[in-house]
Structure 1
């Protein structure tokens, strides 16, 4: 029996500031694990302040691209461009995870106050505070723990 979208659980939503680096990495890693395990669940990602990355020369952080390549994970497992978070995204998600409480809770209060306590928060610092060589593996560990809930 083939799966239809009606059979699929609601997706996981990863949220960060620009939807350029951390959330896109989490999305790709989650979708890769789901594919490897034959799970129907998928992830997507959004940003709370995508205007911050509007002038970037690439649509995905080079650090994320490099790490995904090193892991053998195809970039098509993440979205093509940074996308701003909407209420519709939050409503569609079965679970929403912001990548850093200290940073994103305040942004959620400003943008979507009714959702601030309805999402999960991790504690993965941004590139100005921690090297990608530490941040991206931390995301991978969190994603591995999360995907195990669906296996």
Structure 2
């Protein structure tokens, strides 16, 4: 696994807008991995900066609940997934199979087999407490435990 935020990420979390789910996952992962040299980033499949800027208020609230201090830098605008992002990331995790797999297949067919899929529903389908506070949080914690074991981090 790669080390340091200057290096390509060990994990790249992907969702539709890079505003809610993927932002929570990447910032929570980095909180858990702090001081280990492992880091995550996040991107969106269909970023619309005219509609979404910064980070979702609800993602910020869910991060505070799990003890993550959200800085101004964390509130950056959503970022579009690129082929370079895909090539550089060691692991690619799309947050919702039913929603994201068809978009990945259409936009990045060459790389479709590199993606892992979780089942974290968006805010319009599942309340924040369940989607981020439980579903996404547990998935990120499971991932972190697996990676810790794989790289021998305390």
Partner of 1:133: 129
Range moving further from structure 2, 21-30 or 109-118: 109-118
Q: CA deviation at 1:71?
A: 2.1
What TM-score do you get using the length of structure 1 for normalisation?
0.86
The answer for the alignment partner of 2:60 in structure 1 is: 65
Partners of 2:98 and 2:89 in 1: how far apart?
22
Tell me the CA shift for residue 79 of structure 1. Answer: 6.0
Partner of 1:80: 76
| Counterpart-to-counterpart distance in 1, 2:113 and 2:88 | 17
Task: Note if contact 2:13-2:42 (Cα within 8 Å) is conserved in structure 1.
Answer: yes
Out of 88, 91, 95, which is 1:92 matched to?
88
Query: What are structure 2's unaligned runs of at least 5 residues?
Result: 149-154
SS at match of 1:120: strand
1:41-72 superposed Cα distances (whole Å, 9 cap, x missing partner):
10000000011x5323x511110011112222
Task: Count residues with an aligned counterpart.
Answer: 142
- Are the equivalent residues in 1 in contact too, given 2:8–2:89 (CA < 8 A)? no
Task: Determine helix, strand or coil for the equivalent of 2:19.
Answer: coil
Q: Residue 47 of structure 1 aligns with which residue?
A: 44
Moved >3 Å (runs of 4+): 76-79
2:24 maps to which residue?
25
Normalised by the size of structure 2, how large is the TM-score?
Answer: 0.85
